[in-house]
Structure 1
Amino acid sequence: MLAHTKEGQIAAVHILAIDLAKRSFQVCATDRGGAVLFNWVLSRARLQQFLNEQPPCVVAMEACATSHFWGRLAQS
């Protein structure tokens, strides 16, 4: 996914950090330089749709009971 930086430039997402929860998920994306591109709260359905649309990148999340499900979804 391409996102606009604060300076108005377009940058590609390099790392997606996802905080897993039951109903809403915090998703933070950074570029290769570590600058935050966006920090969103997504629903379960929206996160699944977002991961399906996301070009390949590094996805980081905590280890918990549902992380295997979300990890497999992110890999596909």
Structure 2
Amino acid sequence: MVVVRTPQRRDRSVKQVITIGLDLAKHVFQVHGADAEGSPVFNRKLRRSEVLRFFEKLPACLVGMEACGSAHYWAREIAALGHEVRLIPPAYVKPFVKRGKTDAADAEAISEAVTRKTMRFVPIKTAEQQAAAMVLKTPRSSSAAANAIGQRVARASGRIGDHRHRRPGKG
């Protein structure tokens, strides 16, 4: 007797999503959802205004993002909806990109990287920690900019560079 099994279609609904990779951008974010086996469930784009509504509809899952300035904000917002959020340094995501550098490929790589047991994650900063870091960096960056402008002015006026330094009295 031969038993013929008919392939069962699996319902790949949003409820089966276990892991999400979120690639952040200026206006449009790429979202890659994977099930428990790591198989893709969806890969779509979301406008900035749609992100929180999208995550509100999902059951709690693991969300990975590349660590950057805005990632801390989004991590706090998505975690407040009940999801577990992890930030990954961009250098640690790069080895998981399988094809060209596109938003979809990055989101898929983030989704895969966030599930690794040996992956190192960046702690999510509070709004206060981000503000303090910005205050600490501002004087350094503004003084560096002022120094750069001063050097450009000095070069343009012939005071430094071009080996045109003249000694007083030697015309």
Q: Structure 1 or 2: larger strand share?
A: 1
* Post-superposition offset of 1:36: 0.2
Name the larger-Rg structure. 2
Q: Does 1:67 align with 2:87?
A: no
Alpha-carbon deviation of 1:47?
A: 1.1
**Cα distance in structure 1, aligned partners of 2:27 and 2:77:** 17
Query: 2: CA distance between counterparts of 1:70 and 1:29?
Result: 17
Looking at secondary structure, tell me which structure has more helix per residue: 2
TM-score, normalized by length of structure 2?
Answer: 0.39
Unaligned runs of 5+ in 2: 1-7, 81-171
Instruction: Tell whether the 8 Å contact from 1:17 to 1:29 is kept in structure 2 after alignment.
Output: yes
| Identity of matched residues, % | 36
Cα offset, 1:48, TM superposition: 1.6
Q: TM-score, normalised by structure 1?
A: 0.84
Instruction: Flag structure 1 segments of 5+ consecutive residues without an equivalent.
Output: 1-6
For the residue of structure 1 that corresponds to 2:73, the secondary structure is helix
- Tell me which of the two structures has the higher relative contact order, counting C-alpha pairs closer than 8 angstroms and 6 or more residues apart: 1
